[in-house]
A and B are shown apart, each in its own frame.
Chain A
Amino acid sequence: MTCDELELLLPEGADDPAVQAHLAQCASCLQSAEVLAAAAQPPLSPSEKAKLGGLSSAVQSQWVRLQHRRGRVQQVLGLAVAAALGAVIASGVMWKLNPARPAPQPLAVEPRAQPQVLVVLEDASPLAADDESSFEVSWPSLNEEGDVL
Protein backbone atom coordinates (compact mmCIF):
# COMPACT_ATOMS: atom_id res chain seq x y z
CA MET A 1 0.00 0.00 0.00
CA THR A 2 1.44 3.33 -1.06
CA CYS A 3 1.19 6.55 0.96
CA ASP A 4 -1.28 8.01 -1.55
CA GLU A 5 -3.49 4.95 -1.35
CA LEU A 6 -3.40 5.02 2.42
CA GLU A 7 -4.35 8.68 2.57
CA LEU A 8 -7.53 7.94 0.66
CA LEU A 9 -8.53 5.40 3.32
CA LEU A 10 -8.30 7.97 6.09
CA PRO A 11 -9.82 8.87 8.41
CA GLU A 12 -12.40 6.11 8.78
CA GLY A 13 -10.00 3.34 7.76
CA ALA A 14 -7.39 4.16 10.38
CA ASP A 15 -8.28 1.08 12.43
CA ASP A 16 -7.65 -1.32 9.58
CA PRO A 17 -4.67 -3.62 10.38
CA ALA A 18 -3.01 -2.95 7.04
CA VAL A 19 -3.30 0.79 7.62
CA GLN A 20 -1.98 0.43 11.14
CA ALA A 21 1.00 -1.53 9.87
CA HIS A 22 1.79 1.18 7.33
CA LEU A 23 1.39 3.95 9.91
CA ALA A 24 3.82 2.19 12.24
CA GLN A 25 6.52 2.50 9.60
CA CYS A 26 5.70 5.82 7.87
CA ALA A 27 6.03 9.01 9.87
CA SER A 28 4.55 11.17 7.11
CA CYS A 29 1.38 9.12 6.90
CA LEU A 30 1.17 9.03 10.67
CA GLN A 31 1.18 12.84 10.69
CA SER A 32 -1.59 12.89 8.09
CA ALA A 33 -3.63 10.47 10.18
CA GLU A 34 -3.10 12.59 13.29
CA VAL A 35 -4.07 15.79 11.50
CA LEU A 36 -7.25 14.21 10.19
CA ALA A 37 -8.08 12.78 13.62
CA ALA A 38 -7.57 16.21 15.15
CA ALA A 39 -9.71 17.80 12.44
CA ALA A 40 -12.64 15.58 13.32
CA GLN A 41 -15.23 17.07 15.61
CA PRO A 42 -15.88 15.73 19.09
CA PRO A 43 -18.80 13.33 19.43
CA LEU A 44 -22.21 14.80 19.99
CA SER A 45 -22.83 15.80 23.56
CA PRO A 46 -25.98 14.58 25.35
CA SER A 47 -27.53 18.02 25.07
CA GLU A 48 -26.85 18.09 21.33
CA LYS A 49 -28.36 14.64 20.96
CA ALA A 50 -31.43 15.77 22.86
CA LYS A 51 -31.80 18.83 20.64
CA LEU A 52 -31.35 16.71 17.54
CA GLY A 53 -34.15 14.48 18.74
CA GLY A 54 -36.59 17.35 18.34
CA LEU A 55 -35.43 18.31 14.86
CA SER A 56 -37.91 16.12 13.03
CA SER A 57 -40.98 17.62 14.69
CA ALA A 58 -39.58 21.15 14.33
CA VAL A 59 -38.96 20.69 10.61
CA GLN A 60 -42.37 19.13 10.15
CA SER A 61 -44.26 21.93 11.88
CA GLN A 62 -42.27 24.51 9.91
CA TRP A 63 -43.06 22.66 6.69
CA VAL A 64 -46.79 22.61 7.47
CA ARG A 65 -46.70 26.34 8.24
CA LEU A 66 -44.90 27.07 4.96
CA GLN A 67 -47.39 25.01 2.98
CA HIS A 68 -50.32 26.84 4.58
CA ARG A 69 -48.72 30.15 3.71
CA ARG A 70 -48.10 28.95 0.18
CA GLY A 71 -51.74 27.91 -0.08
CA ARG A 72 -52.95 31.32 1.08
CA VAL A 73 -50.67 33.15 -1.34
CA GLN A 74 -51.86 30.95 -4.21
CA GLN A 75 -55.46 31.56 -3.18
CA VAL A 76 -54.98 35.34 -3.16
CA LEU A 77 -53.13 35.21 -6.47
CA GLY A 78 -55.91 33.11 -7.96
CA LEU A 79 -58.55 35.56 -6.80
CA ALA A 80 -56.57 38.49 -8.17
CA VAL A 81 -56.15 36.81 -11.55
CA ALA A 82 -59.85 35.91 -11.62
CA ALA A 83 -60.84 39.48 -10.78
CA ALA A 84 -58.58 40.89 -13.48
CA LEU A 85 -59.98 38.46 -16.03
CA GLY A 86 -63.51 39.32 -14.95
CA ALA A 87 -62.82 43.01 -15.39
CA VAL A 88 -61.41 42.47 -18.86
CA ILE A 89 -64.37 40.30 -19.89
CA ALA A 90 -66.88 42.74 -18.43
CA SER A 91 -65.35 45.67 -20.27
CA GLY A 92 -65.43 43.65 -23.50
CA VAL A 93 -69.07 42.77 -22.98
CA MET A 94 -69.94 46.37 -22.26
CA TRP A 95 -68.21 47.46 -25.42
CA LYS A 96 -70.12 44.90 -27.48
CA LEU A 97 -73.48 45.85 -25.97
CA ASN A 98 -73.06 49.55 -26.69
CA PRO A 99 -71.27 49.76 -30.02
CA ALA A 100 -72.98 53.01 -31.39
CA ARG A 101 -71.14 55.43 -29.32
CA PRO A 102 -70.28 58.76 -30.96
CA ALA A 103 -66.92 59.14 -32.42
CA PRO A 104 -64.71 61.07 -30.14
CA GLN A 105 -64.63 64.75 -31.02
CA PRO A 106 -61.32 66.39 -31.49
CA LEU A 107 -60.54 68.71 -28.73
CA ALA A 108 -61.49 72.29 -29.55
CA VAL A 109 -58.70 74.75 -29.29
CA GLU A 110 -59.85 77.63 -27.18
CA PRO A 111 -58.90 81.09 -28.47
CA ARG A 112 -56.51 82.92 -26.41
CA ALA A 113 -58.11 85.41 -24.11
CA GLN A 114 -57.82 88.97 -25.34
CA PRO A 115 -56.42 91.56 -22.98
CA GLN A 116 -59.10 93.68 -21.43
CA VAL A 117 -59.52 97.15 -22.93
CA LEU A 118 -60.31 99.99 -20.64
CA VAL A 119 -63.45 101.88 -21.66
CA VAL A 120 -62.65 105.45 -22.51
CA LEU A 121 -65.34 107.65 -21.05
CA GLU A 122 -64.13 110.96 -22.44
CA ASP A 123 -66.77 110.99 -25.26
CA ALA A 124 -69.61 110.84 -22.88
CA SER A 125 -71.26 114.14 -22.09
CA PRO A 126 -70.43 115.47 -18.69
CA LEU A 127 -74.01 116.57 -18.38
CA ALA A 128 -75.32 113.12 -19.03
CA ALA A 129 -74.13 112.03 -15.68
CA ASP A 130 -75.14 115.19 -13.88
CA ASP A 131 -78.86 114.88 -13.22
CA GLU A 132 -79.32 118.39 -11.82
CA SER A 133 -77.68 120.15 -14.81
CA SER A 134 -79.63 118.04 -17.20
CA PHE A 135 -82.83 118.87 -15.37
CA GLU A 136 -82.11 122.58 -15.55
CA VAL A 137 -81.25 122.51 -19.24
CA SER A 138 -84.16 120.43 -20.28
CA TRP A 139 -86.80 122.01 -18.07
CA PRO A 140 -89.22 123.58 -20.55
CA SER A 141 -90.83 126.14 -18.26
CA LEU A 142 -87.77 128.19 -17.47
CA ASN A 143 -86.09 130.81 -19.59
CA GLU A 144 -82.42 131.34 -19.78
CA GLU A 145 -82.37 133.44 -16.64
CA GLY A 146 -84.31 130.84 -14.76
CA ASP A 147 -87.57 132.78 -14.56
CA VAL A 148 -90.72 130.91 -14.76
CA LEU A 149 -92.43 131.46 -18.00
Chain B
Amino acid sequence: MSSQSPRAALRLVPVGPRSDSGLCRDFLTGDAGAFGELVRRHQEVVFRLLRRYTRTADDALDLSQRAFLQAFEAARRSLPRLQQGAVEIPFRAWLLRIAVNLAKNQARDASKWPAAPVEAIDAEGQSEAAPAHEQLVRLQREALTRQAVLQLPRRQREVLTLRVDGGLSFGEVASTLGITEGNAKTHFHYAVKRLREEIRKLAPDALEDK
Protein backbone atom coordinates (compact mmCIF):
# COMPACT_ATOMS: atom_id res chain seq x y z
CA MET B 1 0.00 0.00 0.00
CA SER B 2 1.46 3.28 -1.01
CA SER B 3 1.17 6.32 1.19
CA GLN B 4 2.67 8.71 -1.34
CA SER B 5 0.83 11.92 -1.90
CA PRO B 6 -0.06 12.82 -5.48
CA ARG B 7 2.52 15.60 -5.28
CA ALA B 8 5.27 13.11 -4.33
CA ALA B 9 4.19 10.74 -7.07
CA LEU B 10 4.48 13.52 -9.60
CA ARG B 11 8.11 13.94 -8.74
CA LEU B 12 8.82 10.34 -9.75
CA VAL B 13 7.53 10.80 -13.26
CA PRO B 14 10.53 10.57 -15.57
CA VAL B 15 11.26 13.80 -17.31
CA GLY B 16 13.31 14.59 -20.39
CA PRO B 17 17.02 15.22 -20.31
CA ARG B 18 18.08 18.07 -18.07
CA SER B 19 19.06 21.29 -19.76
CA ASP B 20 22.69 22.34 -19.92
CA SER B 21 21.92 25.21 -17.57
CA GLY B 22 20.36 22.87 -15.05
CA LEU B 23 23.33 20.53 -15.25
CA CYS B 24 25.74 23.45 -14.83
CA ARG B 25 23.86 24.70 -11.80
CA ASP B 26 23.76 21.22 -10.25
CA PHE B 27 27.44 20.62 -10.91
CA LEU B 28 28.55 23.97 -9.54
CA THR B 29 26.53 23.37 -6.41
CA GLY B 30 28.17 20.03 -5.79
CA ASP B 31 26.59 17.37 -8.03
CA ALA B 32 29.57 15.57 -9.57
CA GLY B 33 27.30 13.41 -11.73
CA ALA B 34 26.06 16.47 -13.57
CA PHE B 35 29.63 17.25 -14.55
CA GLY B 36 30.09 13.88 -16.21
CA GLU B 37 26.77 14.13 -17.98
CA LEU B 38 27.62 17.54 -19.40
CA VAL B 39 30.98 16.36 -20.66
CA ARG B 40 29.58 13.18 -22.19
CA ARG B 41 26.80 15.14 -23.87
CA HIS B 42 29.17 17.41 -25.78
CA GLN B 43 32.51 15.64 -25.87
CA GLU B 44 32.16 14.11 -29.31
CA VAL B 45 31.27 17.29 -31.16
CA VAL B 46 34.09 19.17 -29.44
CA PHE B 47 36.56 16.39 -30.18
CA ARG B 48 35.54 16.19 -33.84
CA LEU B 49 35.85 19.95 -34.22
CA LEU B 50 39.33 19.98 -32.76
CA ARG B 51 40.59 16.81 -34.35
CA ARG B 52 40.68 18.50 -37.72
CA TYR B 53 43.35 20.91 -36.52
CA THR B 54 45.59 18.61 -34.54
CA ARG B 55 48.19 16.09 -35.54
CA THR B 56 47.13 13.36 -33.16
CA ALA B 57 44.08 12.29 -31.25
CA ASP B 58 45.92 13.00 -28.00
CA ASP B 59 46.40 16.62 -29.03
CA ALA B 60 42.70 16.88 -29.85
CA LEU B 61 41.91 15.34 -26.47
CA ASP B 62 44.09 17.89 -24.66
CA LEU B 63 42.40 20.75 -26.47
CA SER B 64 38.98 19.27 -25.71
CA GLN B 65 39.89 19.17 -22.04
CA ARG B 66 40.95 22.82 -22.14
CA ALA B 67 37.72 23.77 -23.92
CA PHE B 68 35.62 22.11 -21.23
CA LEU B 69 37.60 23.67 -18.40
CA GLN B 70 37.25 27.15 -19.89
CA ALA B 71 33.54 26.64 -20.46
CA PHE B 72 33.05 25.46 -16.87
CA GLU B 73 35.01 28.46 -15.66
CA ALA B 74 32.69 30.74 -17.62
CA ALA B 75 29.72 28.90 -16.12
CA ARG B 76 31.18 29.28 -12.63
CA ARG B 77 31.32 33.03 -13.09
CA SER B 78 27.62 32.92 -14.02
CA LEU B 79 26.66 30.86 -10.98
CA PRO B 80 24.99 33.75 -9.11
CA ARG B 81 22.73 34.36 -12.11
CA LEU B 82 22.17 30.64 -12.52
CA GLN B 83 21.11 30.24 -8.91
CA GLN B 84 18.41 32.82 -9.42
CA GLY B 85 16.93 30.20 -11.72
CA ALA B 86 15.47 32.51 -14.32
CA VAL B 87 18.57 32.65 -16.50
CA GLU B 88 19.58 30.03 -19.03
CA ILE B 89 23.23 30.04 -19.94
CA PRO B 90 24.22 29.05 -23.48
CA PHE B 91 26.73 26.44 -22.31
CA ARG B 92 26.89 24.60 -25.63
CA ALA B 93 27.42 27.82 -27.58
CA TRP B 94 30.14 28.86 -25.13
CA LEU B 95 31.81 25.49 -25.36
CA LEU B 96 31.80 25.41 -29.15
CA ARG B 97 32.94 29.02 -29.33
CA ILE B 98 35.87 28.20 -27.05
CA ALA B 99 36.64 25.12 -29.14
CA VAL B 100 36.59 27.22 -32.33
CA ASN B 101 38.98 29.72 -30.76
CA LEU B 102 41.30 26.97 -29.62
CA ALA B 103 41.16 25.51 -33.11
CA LYS B 104 41.99 28.91 -34.57
CA ASN B 105 45.03 29.21 -32.29
CA GLN B 106 46.04 25.68 -33.15
CA ALA B 107 45.75 26.43 -36.88
CA ARG B 108 47.91 29.52 -36.39
CA ASP B 109 50.53 27.57 -34.45
CA ALA B 110 50.40 24.66 -36.87
CA SER B 111 51.31 26.98 -39.72
CA LYS B 112 54.74 27.26 -38.11
CA TRP B 113 55.21 23.49 -38.16
CA PRO B 114 55.21 20.99 -40.98
CA ALA B 115 52.02 19.39 -39.75
CA ALA B 116 50.09 16.74 -41.59
CA PRO B 117 46.97 16.37 -39.49
CA VAL B 118 44.79 14.59 -41.99
CA GLU B 119 47.31 11.97 -42.87
CA ALA B 120 48.01 11.28 -39.22
CA ILE B 121 44.32 10.79 -38.54
CA ASP B 122 43.89 8.61 -41.59
CA ALA B 123 46.78 6.43 -40.57
CA GLU B 124 45.12 5.90 -37.21
CA GLY B 125 41.74 5.18 -38.67
CA GLN B 126 42.81 2.88 -41.50
CA SER B 127 44.26 -0.17 -39.92
CA GLU B 128 42.92 -2.72 -42.36
CA ALA B 129 44.84 -4.26 -45.23
CA ALA B 130 46.20 -2.24 -48.11
CA PRO B 131 43.27 -0.52 -49.83
CA ALA B 132 42.50 -0.94 -53.48
CA HIS B 133 43.44 1.68 -56.04
CA GLU B 134 40.01 3.29 -55.94
CA GLN B 135 40.17 3.55 -52.22
CA LEU B 136 43.61 5.13 -52.42
CA VAL B 137 42.35 7.71 -54.89
CA ARG B 138 39.37 8.44 -52.67
CA LEU B 139 41.55 8.77 -49.61
CA GLN B 140 43.86 11.10 -51.48
CA ARG B 141 40.96 13.25 -52.60
CA GLU B 142 39.60 13.40 -49.07
CA ALA B 143 43.01 14.35 -47.73
CA LEU B 144 43.30 17.13 -50.31
CA THR B 145 39.85 18.39 -49.46
CA ARG B 146 40.55 18.47 -45.74
CA GLN B 147 43.78 20.26 -46.43
CA ALA B 148 41.85 22.79 -48.49
CA VAL B 149 39.42 23.28 -45.60
CA LEU B 150 42.30 24.44 -43.43
CA GLN B 151 43.26 26.99 -46.09
CA LEU B 152 39.83 28.64 -46.12
CA PRO B 153 39.41 32.14 -44.70
CA ARG B 154 38.83 31.95 -40.96
CA ARG B 155 35.10 32.68 -40.82
CA GLN B 156 34.31 30.41 -43.76
CA ARG B 157 36.35 27.65 -42.15
CA GLU B 158 34.60 28.09 -38.82
CA VAL B 159 31.14 27.95 -40.36
CA LEU B 160 32.02 24.96 -42.52
CA THR B 161 33.59 22.93 -39.73
CA LEU B 162 30.77 23.69 -37.30
CA ARG B 163 28.34 22.53 -39.97
CA VAL B 164 30.27 19.51 -41.25
CA ASP B 165 32.08 18.31 -38.13
CA GLY B 166 29.63 19.50 -35.51
CA GLY B 167 26.44 18.89 -37.48
CA LEU B 168 25.07 22.21 -36.23
CA SER B 169 22.12 23.93 -37.84
CA PHE B 170 22.72 27.36 -39.33
CA GLY B 171 20.95 28.89 -36.34
CA GLU B 172 23.32 27.14 -33.93
CA VAL B 173 26.31 28.10 -36.06
CA ALA B 174 25.16 31.72 -35.99
CA SER B 175 24.66 31.78 -32.21
CA THR B 176 27.99 30.07 -31.64
CA LEU B 177 29.92 32.54 -33.75
CA GLY B 178 27.87 35.58 -32.83
CA ILE B 179 26.73 36.28 -36.39
CA THR B 180 23.36 36.27 -38.11
CA GLU B 181 21.93 33.13 -39.64
CA GLY B 182 21.95 34.71 -43.08
CA ASN B 183 25.59 35.57 -42.63
CA ALA B 184 26.34 31.97 -41.66
CA LYS B 185 24.60 30.72 -44.81
CA THR B 186 26.55 33.17 -46.95
CA HIS B 187 29.85 32.07 -45.46
CA PHE B 188 28.89 28.44 -46.01
CA HIS B 189 28.05 29.10 -49.65
CA TYR B 190 31.36 30.82 -50.29
CA ALA B 191 33.23 28.12 -48.40
CA VAL B 192 31.75 25.40 -50.62
CA LYS B 193 32.45 27.43 -53.74
CA ARG B 194 36.03 28.07 -52.70
CA LEU B 195 36.57 24.44 -51.76
CA ARG B 196 35.47 23.33 -55.19
CA GLU B 197 37.88 25.76 -56.79
CA GLU B 198 40.74 24.67 -54.56
CA ILE B 199 40.11 21.01 -55.25
CA ARG B 200 40.00 21.70 -58.94
CA LYS B 201 43.38 23.42 -58.69
CA LEU B 202 44.97 20.80 -56.45
CA ALA B 203 43.59 17.76 -58.27
CA PRO B 204 42.12 18.74 -61.64
CA ASP B 205 40.88 15.23 -62.37
CA ALA B 206 39.18 14.82 -59.01
CA LEU B 207 36.05 16.65 -60.07
CA GLU B 208 36.34 16.31 -63.83
CA ASP B 209 35.96 12.56 -64.02
CA LYS B 210 32.53 12.65 -62.40
Minimum CB–CB distance from B106 to chain A (whole Å) comes to: 15
Number of A residues with CB within 8 Å of any CB on chain B: 34
Per-residue contact bits, chain B 47-74, to A (CB 8 Å; 1 contact, 0 not): 1100110000110010011001100100
Indicate which residue in B127, B167, B192 contacts A32 across the interface (CB closer than 8 Å). Answer: B192
Minimum CB–CB distance from B171 to chain A (whole Å) comes to: 12
On whether A56 and B185 interact (CB within 8 A), knowing A41-B52, A41-B146, A51-B61, the answer reads: no
A4 touches B207 (CB 8 A): no
Is A80 engaged at the interface, CB distance under 8 Å to the other chain?
Answer: no
Q: Which residue of B is nearest A57, CB measured?
A: B36
Is A40 engaged at the interface, CB distance under 8 Å to the other chain?
Answer: yes
Is B133 engaged at the interface, CB distance under 8 Å to the other chain?
Answer: no
Per-residue contact bits, chain A 1-39, to B (CB 8 Å; 1 contact, 0 not): 000100110111000000000000001001110111011
Is A85 engaged at the interface, CB distance under 8 Å to the other chain?
Answer: no
Per-residue contact bits, chain B 170-197, to A (CB 8 Å; 1 contact, 0 not): 1000000000000001001100100110
Q: Which residue of A is nearest B117, CB measured?
A: A41
Is A58 engaged at the interface, CB distance under 8 Å to the other chain?
Answer: yes
Q: Which residue of B is nearest A28, CB measured?
A: B196
A52 touches B36 (CB 8 A): no
A47 touches B57 (CB 8 A): yes
Indicate which residue in A8, A10, A45 contacts B124 across the interface (CB closer than 8 Å). Answer: A45
B199 touches A35 (CB 8 A): yes
On whether A31 and B165 interact (CB within 8 A), knowing A36-B192, A51-B58, A62-B65, the answer reads: no
A59 touches B65 (CB 8 A): yes
CA distance A55 to B72 in the complex (A): 14
Name the A residues within 8 Å of B68 (CB-CB): 55, 59
Per-residue contact bits, chain A 58-77, to B (CB 8 Å; 1 contact, 0 not): 11101100100000000000
- Interface size on B, as a range, is 35 or more
With most chain B CB atoms within 10 A of its CB, the pick from A30, A41, A48, A60 is: A41
Is B6 engaged at the interface, CB distance under 8 Å to the other chain?
Answer: no
Indicate which residue in B52, B65, B141, B142 contacts A58 across the interface (CB closer than 8 Å). Answer: B65
A63 touches B72 (CB 8 A): yes
CA distance A39 to B143 in the complex (A): 8
A27 touches B210 (CB 8 A): yes
CA distance A122 to B142 in the complex (A): 115
B192 touches A34 (CB 8 A): no
Indicate which residue in A4, A39, A60 contacts B149 across the interface (CB closer than 8 Å). Answer: A39
Name the A residues within 8 Å of B69 (CB-CB): 59, 62-63, 66
Indicate which residue in A11, A31, A41 contacts B207 across the interface (CB closer than 8 Å). Answer: A31
Query: Which A residues are closer than 8 A to B by beta carbons?
Result: 4, 7-8, 10-12, 27, 30-32, 34-36, 38-45, 47-48, 51-52, 55-60, 62-63, 66
Q: Given contact pairs A32-B196, A35-B192, enumerate 20 new A-B contacts (beta carbons under 8 Å).
A: A4-B189, A7-B189, A12-B167, A30-B210, A35-B195, A38-B141, A38-B199, A41-B121, A42-B121, A42-B126, A47-B124, A48-B51, A51-B58, A51-B61, A55-B47, A55-B64, A59-B68, A59-B69, A60-B39, A63-B69
Q: What would be 11 A-B contacts, judged by CB atoms less than 8 Å apart? A: A34-B210, A35-B207, A39-B146, A39-B195, A42-B125, A48-B124, A55-B47, A55-B68, A58-B65, A59-B35, A60-B32
